[in-house]
């Protein structure tokens, strides 16, 4: 996989795998533009560890590829006001990138890998075979929801005052088109007698019909890895937790209990002890930044750090600033002589990174 072409290369490679192979171990090797294999990757450029941890490298690929796929600039996914994703109505279903993203999401759920990719609730429910209902509209389009509530409760002359008909304006690449909500909708006014039908048809269009093809294709891709019968064991909130993790505060004691050490460090090393004192004093936001800095995800595993693979590891490092190898969940921590300096340098590193930019 070339890093500059994650989605395109990922589609070619994963597309060649039969469905049953997607449930097995997938080994990823990153290569340069010249096709030369990298020795591993961290935020300092090329990492010195061998590619011996297939799970760790695949996790990094999966997280990076999903992050690229849901980037708003690609136009494949749209976001609600709460920044939760759903298929963009203007995205095509024949494109290879959406095809790969849905298979990767299924693989993440199958492997228990938490992603920074929160689905809109109405869209997550589709993975369970449930269509969106009018109650879901408030999270997708608050203004439309309020407008429909007004139509539903309006006491005046609905037809004469509101001047509505059974159509919705669709904007596709700057071209506005009227779409009938039902047969003959353009010539059918909304009245007091039929306004409830109008409200439900409008909600159904925004939540279901408008993205029907994209949603059907996405759901089929996820179900090719995780069967619907499995997913139906969960409620929509539970499925959201499987995909996007838990919003509960990070348990520092649990993280510490399941951390490994390398490069001469151990639990009693002064720098390690200082590290845990510093992290214990961190705000919830800074703890999340630290976790994202090291693992590429700001949320802990659903069942605790015992199940983080590869395990969270702290290794001695000779550089001036802490760095990380996200594919190995490895924090490279210099042997600082002062707790104050350790805190200052660690905060600088995790706050400057904001993801993957820090080298």
Give the pLDDT confidence of 42-68 residue by residue, as tens digits. Answer: 433 334 444 445 566 788 788 888 888
In the chain, domain spans: 3-129+213-244, 134-207, 252-353
Per CATH, the homologous superfamily of domain 3-129+213-244 is: Hect, E3 ligase catalytic domains (3.90.1750.10)
d(CA 40, CA 48): 6
The confidence band for 38, taking pLDDT boundaries of 50, 70 and 90, is: low
Per-residue pLDDT tens digits for 211-267 = 999 999 889 989 989 999 999 999 999 999 999 888 788 999 999 999 999 999 999
Q: Which of 149-153, 171-175, 280-284, 287-291 has the lowest mean pLDDT?
A: 171-175
Residues in contact with 321: Cβ distance below 8 Å, sequence separation at least 6, in sequence order? 334, 345, 348, 349
Q: What is the mean pLDDT of the chain?
A: 86
Write phi, then psi, for 77 (nearest 5 degrees). -130, 145
Residue 102 CA: distances (Å) to CA of 60, 96, 118: 17, 10, 13
User: What integer pLDDT is reported at residue 98 of this predicted model?
Assistant: 56
The confidence band for 40, taking pLDDT boundaries of 50, 70 and 90, is: very low
Q: Would you state the CATH architecture of domain 134-207?
A: 2-Layer Sandwich (3.30)
Burial, 48: exposed, middle or buried (Cβ in 10 Å; 0-12, 13-18, 19+)? Answer: exposed
73 has a pLDDT exceeding 90:
no
108 has a pLDDT exceeding 90:
no
Active site residue 327: yes
Cross-strand partners of 280 = none
Task: Tell me what the mean pLDDT of segment 121-125 comes to.
Answer: 94
User: What integer pLDDT is reported at residue 35 of this predicted model?
Assistant: 73
d(CA 77, CA 82): 14
97 has a pLDDT exceeding 80:
no
349 has a pLDDT exceeding 90:
yes
User: What integer pLDDT is reported at residue 355 of this predicted model?
Assistant: 35
Contact by Cβ (8 Å): 40, 47: yes
Q: Which of 15-24, 113-122, 259-268 has the lowest mean pLDDT?
A: 15-24
How many CB atoms lie under 10 A from the CB of residue 24?
7
The confidence band for 41, taking pLDDT boundaries of 50, 70 and 90, is: very low
Element of type H or E holding 333 = strand 330-334
- Smallest CA-to-CA distance from 168 within 207, 201, 145 is with 201
- Provide the Cα torsion 295, 280, 284, 125; round to 10°: 50
User: What integer pLDDT is reported at residue 39 of this predicted model?
Assistant: 54
Choose between 179 and 103: higher pLDDT.
Answer: 179
CATH class of 252-353: alpha beta
Residue 359 CA: distances (Å) to CA of 5, 42, 330: 20, 8, 14
Task: Tell me what the mean pLDDT of segment 17-24 comes to.
Answer: 81
User: What integer pLDDT is reported at residue 114 of this predicted model?
Assistant: 85
For the whole model, what pTM was predicted?
0.76
Task: Tell me what the mean pLDDT of segment 11-17 comes to.
Answer: 81
Catalytic residue among 47, 165, 297, 327, which? 327
189 has a pLDDT exceeding 90:
yes
**Local structure of residue 309 (DSSP, 8 states):** S
SS3 202: helix
Number of H helices, E strands in the chain: 14, 10
Beta strand 330-334 pairing with 323-325? antiparallel
């Amino acid at each position: 996989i070339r890093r500059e072409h994650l989605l395109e290369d990922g589609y070619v490679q994963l597309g060649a795998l039969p469905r049953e192979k997607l449930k097995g171990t997938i080994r990823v090797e990153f290569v340069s533009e010249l096709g030369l294999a990298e020795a591993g990757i961290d935020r300092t450029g090329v990492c010195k560890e061998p590619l011996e941890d297939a799970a760790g490298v695949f996790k990094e690929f999966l997280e990076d590829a999903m992050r690229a796929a849901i980037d708003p600039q690609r136009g494949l996914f749209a976001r609600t006001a709460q920044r939760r994703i759903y298929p963009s109505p203007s995205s095509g279903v024949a494109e290879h990138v959406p095809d790969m993203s849905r298979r990767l999401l299924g693989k993440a759920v199958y492997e228990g890998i938490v992603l920074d990719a929160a689905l809109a609730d109405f869209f997550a429910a589709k993975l369970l075979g449930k269509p969106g209902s009018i109650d879901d509209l408030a999270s997708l389009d608050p203004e439309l929801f309020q407008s429909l509530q007004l139509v539903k409760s309006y006491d005046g002359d609905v037809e004469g005052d509101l001047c509505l008909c059974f159509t919705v304006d669709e904007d596709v690449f700057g071209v506005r088109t009227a779409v009938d909500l039902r047969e003959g909708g353009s010539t059918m006014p909304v009245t007091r007698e039929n306004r409830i039908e109008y409200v439900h048809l409008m909600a159904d269009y925004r939540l279901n019909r408008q993205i029907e093809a994209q949603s059907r294709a996405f759901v089929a891709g996820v179900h090719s890895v995780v069967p619907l019968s499995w997913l139906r064991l969960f409620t929509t909130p539970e499925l959201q937790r499987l995909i996007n993790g838990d919003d509960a505060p990070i348990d520092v004691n649990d993280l510490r209990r399941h951390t490994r050490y390398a490069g001469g460090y151990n639990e009693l090393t002064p720098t390690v002890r200082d590290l845990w004192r510093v992290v214990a004093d961190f705000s919830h936001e800074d703890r999340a930044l630290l976790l994202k800095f090291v693992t590429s995800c700001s949320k802990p595993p659903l069942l605790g750090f015992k199940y983080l693979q590869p395990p969270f590891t702290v290794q001695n490092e000779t550089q001036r600033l802490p760095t990380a190898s996200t594919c190995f969940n490895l924090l490279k921590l210099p042997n600082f002589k002062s707790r104050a300096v350790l805190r200052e340098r660690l905060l600088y590193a995790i706050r400057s990174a904001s993801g993957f930019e820090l080298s």
